[in-house]
Structure 1
Amino acid sequence: MRENTEVVVVGGGYAGVMAADRLTQRDDVTVTLINPRPAFVHRVRLHQMVAGTHTAVVGYQEVLAEGVRLVTDTVTRIDAGGRAVELASGGAVRYDYLVYAVGSGSADPQVPGAAEFAYPIAGLEEAQRLLPVLAAASASAPVTVVGAGPTGIETAAELAEQGRRVTLVCGGVLGPYLHRRGRRSVAGRLAALRVTVLEGAEAKVTAVTRDAVRLADGRELPSAVTIWTAGFGVPDLARRSGLSTDALGRLLTDETLTSVDDDRVVAAGDSAAPSGLPLRMSCQMAMPLGARAADTVLSRLAGERPEPLNQSFGAQCLSLGRGSGVFQFGNRSDVAVWFHVAGRLGAKMKETVCKGIVKHLADEAQKPGGYSLHRMKGGAGRREALEAVRAEAPAIERIS
């Protein structure tokens, strides 16, 4: 009779749910998922929640395998030496292996007044806090969205489509990932929605007040509601627990996603920094990394050598309101290429992706091990980056 193995997954987002579901392939593995809230947050729809076009919440019963034990709590510390996690409610949960999938959230804006007067929407509770503020503001009240990545662009478009008077402050270029052709399509759609787009270094926000946003060039924009979407941060759980992290706080791992400090700790998603070269923070990366982390644990339990990371990329898709979107294709090294799909078809493709995310998780819950997108061969970009890093200082690589 095989000895039972206890695996604890910390974080119930895209990466954590995928890892937990996949780990149930073996009947001698007990999987516990610890998450602060009792429902799955579909983060790529939070901008829709703000606009009232989607709830952005899915019941765990739809995406989590029946064999996974869900604990609604917050992990306050990882005791790697004792192989246990301490909970905010008191007590601890022991583990044989830990999957660290705490995800990401809003970055500290470090701009005077932003923490007090701006509203981030990277998490469910943040989006919920914004809802009554928007509801209380008149339709003609000026709304400022700070940050021109996917969340900022999508939020600006969603609100403008509802008749809101929106200014999008880029602090740089509109849609940094996009190819110039894709960027042109996004700019055209925002213009059609009458979104004022401010680009360039002079449009960097230097202060936020209760009713205005101040820019680097001295301009002051009236703003009844300021929404902050610039940048991501990660929880400091790994750092507080004495585990090695990168400058942002992501857990440092080798190319099998195993912690450089402890081969019983494996990371996945936005909170992982494999070889100090983290992948783009996105749902597109989170689920494959969750599957890869689970496979690393399962390989070790089987006495096999875990496979190193070989991640493939494909695209970045943006909704621009309910009737339009842009599907920006990229190469396997995550560099945008000239080809993109815009307009109504772009919106349909984005919606297909959003629905497909939940379907992938639900399918893995029903048939663990069925997900295979993480096995698609990646591009040469990461391999070349690793070679460059190792030429300067050989990285720790644990693949045995």
Structure 2
Amino acid sequence: MTAHSHVIVVGGGFAGVMAANRLTQRPDVTVTVINSRPVFVPRLRLHQLVGGADDVLVQYREVLADRVRLLVDHVTRIDAAGRAVELADGSRLDYDYLVYAVGSGGAEPRVPGGEFTHAVATLEAARALRSRLDDTPGTAAVTVVGGGPTGIETAGELAERGRRVTLLCGGTLGPYLHPRARRTAAGRLARLGVTVLDGPGTKVTRVTREAVHLADGRVLPSEVTVWTAGFGVPDLAARSGLTTDSAGRLLTDETLTSVDDERVVAAGDSAAPSDLPFRMSAYAAGCLGAHAADTVLNRLAGQPAEPLDLSFNAMCVSIGSGAGIFQLASKDDTAKRLYVSGRAGAKLKGLTYTFSVKHLVKEARKPGSHHWPKGEYRREVLRDRPAQAPVAQR
């Protein structure tokens, strides 16, 4: 180990901030977070920004430890062999270890007319959608494509504000939810005035400026079409010659270390440990960020890195401001019959907004304090998985 080590964290979301704060446990480690925005964006609240909320963003000084340097810039390439990152202005910054936490965004629609859709997954996209809605009459038909949490939350938020919303599931509404909770979600959306269309026939085949075409032949008027189906990750790892999974996430072992270089560790939505990535969520991102930091700290101390052990206990979704569903889950991240709905569900969802940020603040003030529930289900899944080479991209 050198006398002083520099760790670069690429990405300033939940995973990146958690990792950076946790790394400050060692006084001989300098931490730099490189992020393209000067403010922290809690992505799980972007649907509220679209609906008109103005208190979504958080200043980095509130969530980053004082010892962490924030560099507002864009990493264009990782030179793993040279242990440096290349920045947008052509300059380079050296590192001893790198935490890859670039996060995720919405998937590009793979249908004709995708340019006529709007997204919610990034701050810039959410602001653009809000501006578009501000310029559109309140009676205009709005279509939300995607029946997952983002689609449900966006549809509920806009309907509560008087918009005429159709939610196209392209399959099942809330596929993660238990069937009982799914029925509750459908009922709440109906009470808000959302028209929910599900089943395979509701897959979108084409979008125009004024309509959405479905697989079953229907054509729905739509002056504003919001695309929330699927996800995408930045291609930085692939462009840098690092091995990724088929979706572009950095392929790692169970310690979150890149399969190419032990000096590169991944966290959050952009990590694919053992080609078996976790469900994308702020909760998982924070836990993976903390574990990525622990992997780096162990290596700096000359100790072996430990495999990640993470279990889930719930998933929650808001349906307007007055209701939500807090879906209890087994440790293997499958939904139980038990769930909390209505106003109580909304309050629990609100607590997730609060505590997702508070966990970062606590880690900044007391690095090493973040803990999460453990479970051996993942070890069992990996043990029982048929032996095969992961689908990797270079």
**Superposition TM-score, scaled by structure 2 size:** 0.97
Match for 1:213: what amino acid?
A: V
Return closer, same or farther for 1:106/1:358 CA change in 2, 3 Å cut-off: same
Alignment correspondent of 2:374:
377
Alignment correspondent of 1:388:
384
Alignment correspondent of 1:353:
352
- Structure 2 SS opposite 1:313: coil
CA distance in 2, matches of 1:48, 1:54: 8
Alignment correspondent of 2:74:
74
Alignment correspondent of 2:39:
39
CA distances 1:50-81 after superposition (whole Å, capped 9, x unpaired): 00124421000000000001000010000000
Alignment correspondent of 1:109:
109
The alignment status of 1:3 with 2:15, answered yes or no, reads: no
CA distance in 1, matches of 2:88, 2:175: 38
Match for 1:127: what amino acid?
A: A
Matched-pair contact (CA < 8 Å) for 1:171–1:199: yes
Equivalences for 1:117-136 in 2 at 5 Å?
A: 117-136=116-135
Alignment correspondent of 1:49:
49
Match for 1:377: what amino acid?
A: K
Alignment correspondent of 2:246:
247
Alignment correspondent of 1:203:
202
Equivalences for 1:138-217 in 2 at 5 Å?
A: 138-217=137-216
- Structure 1 SS opposite 2:305: coil
Superposition deviation, residue 90 in structure 1: 2.1
Alignment correspondent of 1:232:
231
Between stretches 105-114 and 254-263, larger displacement belongs to 105-114
- Structure 2 SS opposite 1:168: strand
Alignment correspondent of 1:398:
none
- Structure 1 SS opposite 2:144: strand
Between the two proteins, the alignment pairs up a number of residues equal to 390
- Structure 1 SS opposite 2:40: strand
Equivalences for 1:254-333 in 2 at 5 Å?
A: 254-333=253-332
Matched-pair contact (CA < 8 Å) for 1:170–1:199: yes
Identical aligned pairs, as a percentage?
64
Matched-pair contact (CA < 8 Å) for 1:331–1:379: no
Matched-pair contact (CA < 8 Å) for 1:45–1:54: no
Matched-pair contact (CA < 8 Å) for 1:236–1:249: yes
- Structure 1 SS opposite 2:76: strand
CA distance in 2, matches of 1:265, 1:361: 22
CA distance in 1, matches of 2:388, 2:165: 47
Alignment correspondent of 1:93:
93
Match for 2:329: what amino acid?
A: G
- Structure 2 SS opposite 1:105: coil
Match for 2:141: what amino acid?
A: P
- Structure 1 SS opposite 2:352: helix
Superposition deviation, residue 305 in structure 1: 1.4
- Structure 2 SS opposite 1:106: coil
Match for 2:61: what amino acid?
A: Q
Superposition deviation, residue 304 in structure 1: 1.1
- Structure 1 SS opposite 2:78: strand
Equivalences for 1:3-22 in 2 at 5 Å?
A: 3-22=3-22
CA distance in 1, matches of 2:283, 2:376: 15
Structure 1 residue runs of 5 or longer lacking an equivalent are 396-400
CA distance in 2, matches of 1:378, 1:98: 27
CA distance in 1, matches of 2:338, 2:236: 40
CA distances 1:59-108 after superposition (whole Å, capped 9, x unpaired): 00000000001000010000000000000122011000000000000112
- Structure 1 SS opposite 2:154: helix
- Structure 2 SS opposite 1:233: coil
- Structure 2 SS opposite 1:392: coil
Superposition deviation, residue 140 in structure 1: 1.0
- Structure 2 SS opposite 1:77: strand
Match for 2:44: what amino acid?
A: V
Match for 2:88: what amino acid?
A: A
Root-mean-square deviation (CA, aligned residues, Å) is 1.2
CA distance in 2, matches of 1:302, 1:286: 24
Alignment correspondent of 2:60:
60
CA distance in 2, matches of 1:112, 1:394: 35
Match for 1:97: what amino acid?
A: Y
